[in-house]
Chains A and B, each alone.
Chain A
Amino acid sequence: MSSAPPPHPPADRGSGLRWSAWNLLLLLPLLMLVTPWFNRATPRLAGLPFFYWYQFAFVIVGVACVWIVYAMTRKPARRAGSDAAKGARS
């Protein structure tokens, strides 16, 4: 995921990357993979050991992150460059 433009001409070839800092938020749910942080039995919630309800709670974190990126990147994408008219149409 390099943000540098690809090296080969002509100019309209290549990858057309559009960057937004909000996209970094998509990395946050990956913290769920750090198992030592939650591999514990207590405290229990409604009988579920911590290990289980912590991960259920992370479903909400995942949804929130994707939703925020969706909401915050909608407008800039439409304004960008020559695509303004096309974006507004759809």
Chain B
Amino acid sequence: MTGGQVTELVVFLILFGLVTVLGFVAARWKAGDGLNHLDEWALGGRRFGGWVTWFLVGGDLYTAYTFVAVPALVFGSGALGFYALPYTVVLYPIVFLPVLRLWSVSRTNGYVTPADFVKGRYNSPLLALLIAITGIVATMPYIALQLAGLESVLRTIGLNGHGLLGHLPLFVAFVVLAVYTYSSGLRAPALIAFVKDILIYLVIIVAIVYLPAHFGGWSHIFDQAATTLAKKSPTTGKPAGSILLTGTNQLQYATLALGSALALFLYPHSVTGVLASKSRNVIKKNMIALPAYSFVLGLLALLGYVAISAGVKPLVNGATGKPDTNTVVPELFAHTFPSWFAGVAFAAIGIGALVPAAIMSIAAANLWTRNIYKAYLHRGATPAQEARMSKLASLVVKFGAVLFVIVIDPQFSIDLQLIGGVLILQTLPSVAIALYTRWLHAWALIAGWVVGMGWGVYLLYTIPAATGKGHFGGSALALGKLSIIGWHPFGTSTTQIYVGIVALVANLVVAVVVTAILRAVKAPQTPDSTLAADYHAEEGDPLRTPDQALVG
């Protein structure tokens, strides 16, 4: 460790210690009936107003993904990585109306998870179970992405050990996170999100004002990035990328943006952020205000080009022995900022990874407790038992994600999130479409899920790593490789597409066809426990108990 790195580490630890204290204090913030009730622990008592929701949902969306993974993709392949900006622009118009319906129906009927809603809407235990399992599994790689981001910071500070020891700082950080999430529930990340955002805005403003001028202005930075990306890679013989889209990745760009936008509010943690707000109006205003983060996200993505222009070389990961592109932004900060400010920036990135990781693990734990533990293992569980089960499950999910980081090592960490997206998109027909209509039959939704999930995972399996060998190497598929039982509808096309959209289309086609068949043979429908008015309920409208719901 150099002297500069020691300063960075000290600043990092001070700020990290501060948020840890905040995490413990959070347990008493706006406390209600006590954290032994799941609504209290997991949804902060459904009392969060506009500002808290803004920070909380913002904390969900703008994560290590934004600060580490997106710039790393821009650094490695150019314009393609900028898809994250259109993703966050089309996101809010798409979800604006559906999330309001979800909030209302969930509040009236006491739903905590997306699978709760599916259970109430379709009364199909199997469908609800599939939605719950999908949510838990799809969240894990997303948490793993946060861990990879945090790890890149720790390695840049100099904690870049070899072998299993190299992962030690990660374990320590996560034990801290796990303990205070365990004791404070959703209030911990909600309160810490304030600190996180203040730190991040500070770092961004400095980075965006100072760095481009320091490296000769945007014009020069883009010219240099274009030259560097155009150089042919010695391993593949092809250029690494370009600052504009090429003939083969335009469709990939659009489908990545659209697929990511459709996927985001299907993730259990985004649903948690929405359900914790206190009224429809809070959500509406947030949908208008949240894109303020999009500007920041776009500017951060461009730091990938600044890093190219600055000649940053990704740090070699001590544990794997390979260059880790996740480290390009931390390395850029370490080389251009004074040590103390680099420390502040690292703390911002680190805390920015922990907040969403906490929210994600709470949400995945809720799915386990409500839709698997209570539905199958212990039907008569009391609210206190439920809350205890969720707390324990949140620990298990976090450590599952730690293992994910150690075992899986894609070229770009962003692919962790995109693989999760392929999985979670398969719940769109059962959750998002069901908010509007019950035309799709429960068994058709199950059939669609099986086909979409099976095919999606198979296609991911066939994608080799950058070296040309191996599996699960990314999320982009050449259309020519797309085969339907041996039939290649797109010939030998090299145009790339995001696997998530392909699998979702297959899912929808199957769901519609099977529904048409089931309706033609007049197959019996499962009952609906929700009422039309539930989807427009406002704050203050009467709630219904489960018994009343069945009577209607």
Q: How far is the CB of B122 from chain A (nearest CB, A)?
A: 13
| Closest Cβ neighbor of A69 among chain B residues | B96
Say yes or no for B85: interface residue by CB 8 A criterion: yes
Q: How far is the CB of B487 from chain A (nearest CB, A)?
A: 28
Interface of B is mostly: helix
Task: Say whether B284 contacts A35, CB under 8 Å.
Answer: no
Task: Say whether A39 contacts B245, CB under 8 Å.
Answer: yes
In the bound complex, CA of A83 to CA of B538 (Å): 9
Inside 8 A of B220's CB, which chain A residues have their CB? 47
Per the 8 Å Cβ criterion, residues 267-292 of B in contact with A are 279-281, 284-285, 287-288, 291
Using A41-B243, A49-B243, A66-B287 as known contacts, say yes or no to A15 and B438 having CB atoms under 8 A apart: yes
Per the 8 Å Cβ criterion, residues 1-15 of A in contact with B are 1-2, 6-8, 10, 12-15
In the bound complex, CA of A61 to CA of B85 (Å): 13
Task: Say whether B528 contacts A12, CB under 8 Å.
Answer: no
User: Which of B1-9, B252-260, B350-358 lines the interface with chain A?
Assistant: B252-260
| Closest Cβ neighbor of A34 among chain B residues | B254
Say yes or no for B29: interface residue by CB 8 A criterion: no
Interface size class of B (residues with CB under 8 A): 35 or more
Most buried by A among B89, B221, B279, B288: B89
From the candidates A12, A15, A32, A48, name the one contacting B436 in the complex (CB within 8 A): A15
| Residue-wise interface mask of A (4-43) relative to B, using a CB-CB cutoff of 8 A (1 in contact, 0 not) | 0011101011111110000100111110111110011100
In the bound complex, CA of A86 to CA of B250 (Å): 48
Task: Say whether B86 contacts A15, CB under 8 Å.
Answer: no
From the candidates A1, A14, A51, name the one contacting B532 in the complex (CB within 8 A): A14
How many residues on chain A are close to B (CB under 8 Å)? Answer: 53
Task: Say whether B93 contacts A8, CB under 8 Å.
Answer: no
| Closest Cβ neighbor of B293 among chain A residues | A59
Inside 8 A of A34's CB, which chain B residues have their CB? 254
Inside 8 A of A87's CB, which chain B residues have their CB? 538
Task: Say whether B86 contacts A32, CB under 8 Å.
Answer: yes
Say yes or no for B135: interface residue by CB 8 A criterion: no
Task: Say whether A49 contacts B288, CB under 8 Å.
Answer: no
Task: Say whether B298 contacts A6, CB under 8 Å.
Answer: no
Task: Say whether A67 contacts B222, CB under 8 Å.
Answer: no
Say yes or no for B123: interface residue by CB 8 A criterion: no
Task: Say whether B86 contacts A55, CB under 8 Å.
Answer: yes
Q: How far is the CB of A34 from chain B (nearest CB, A)?
A: 8
Inside 8 A of B234's CB, which chain A residues have their CB? none
Task: Say whether A32 contacts B90, CB under 8 Å.
Answer: yes
Inside 8 A of A56's CB, which chain B residues have their CB? 85, 295, 298
Between-chain CB contacts (< 8 Å), 20 pairs? A2-B439, A6-B439, A7-B439, A12-B532, A12-B533, A14-B438, A15-B435, A30-B258, A33-B257, A39-B250, A48-B218, A49-B222, A58-B86, A58-B89, A59-B89, A62-B93, A63-B92, A66-B93, A89-B540, A90-B541
Q: 4 tightest CB-CB pairs across the interface, nearest first?
A: A47-B218, A16-B532, A47-B219, A90-B538
